[in-house]
Amino acid sequence: MKYYSLKQCYRCQKIYPVGLEHSCPMSYIPSLKAVYCDVDDTLVMMDLSSYPEAEKITLTYVHGPVTVVKNQPQINFLEYLHKLGWEIYIWSKTGADWAELVGKSLELPFPVKAYLPKPMMYVDDQDVSDWIGKRRWRDAK
C-alpha cells in the first residue's frame, strides 16, 4: 500500500495528495476581461440642459419619475468592448436596483453579466491602484 502526504487547499479546504494535481473550483475565473460601468453621469447623464439634442428616457423609480439622457457614445464603447470579449457589469452608488432599471430601460445591445451596487469599501491585500485598469469615459455630446 502506498501512502501519500496530504495537503489542504487554502481556497476550497479540500484535502488532496501532494504531487497530484488539484483543480480547485474556487480558482476558476470565467473572464479576466471585466469592465464595470457606472450609471449616473456615465451610462446616462442627469443634467438634461447640457444635452438638449440627446435622446432622453423617463424611468419610474422609488421617488417617482426620473428623466435622464442616454449616453450613446458610452453605450457604443461598451458594445465595442463586448465584441472584443469583455464582460460588462453595471453598477451604481444608488444600488443594484437602480443599475438594473437603467440598464434594462436602455435596451442595451449587449448582455450585462450583473447589476451591482458600487462598493463603498473593499477588502483586498492589494491597493486598488495596483490592479485597476484605466478610466474610460465618453461624454453624451
In tens, the pLDDT along 61-71 reads 988 999 999 99
Domain of 104 in residue numbering reads as 31-131
Q: pLDDT grade, residue 1 (50/70/90)? A: low
What element of type H or E holds 61? strand 56-61
Q: Is residue 141 part of a domain?
A: no
20 plus 71 within the same structural domain: no
Instruction: Report how far apart, in Å, the C-alpha atoms of 125 and of each of 103, 118, 131, 136 are.
Output: 32, 19, 11, 25
When the pLDDT of each residue in the chain is averaged and rounded to a whole number, the result is 87
Contact 56/78 with Cβ under 8 angstroms?
A: no
Do 25 and 36 have their domain in common?
Answer: no
Whose cell is 457614445? That residue is: 73
Tell me which amino acid residue 112 is.
Answer: V
0.85 cut: is pTM over it? no
Give the total number of structural domains in the chain: 2
Contact indicator for 113, 88 with CB cutoff of 8 Å: yes
pLDDT in tens, 7-23: 777 667 777 777 777 67
Percent of the chain's residues with pLDDT above 70: 89
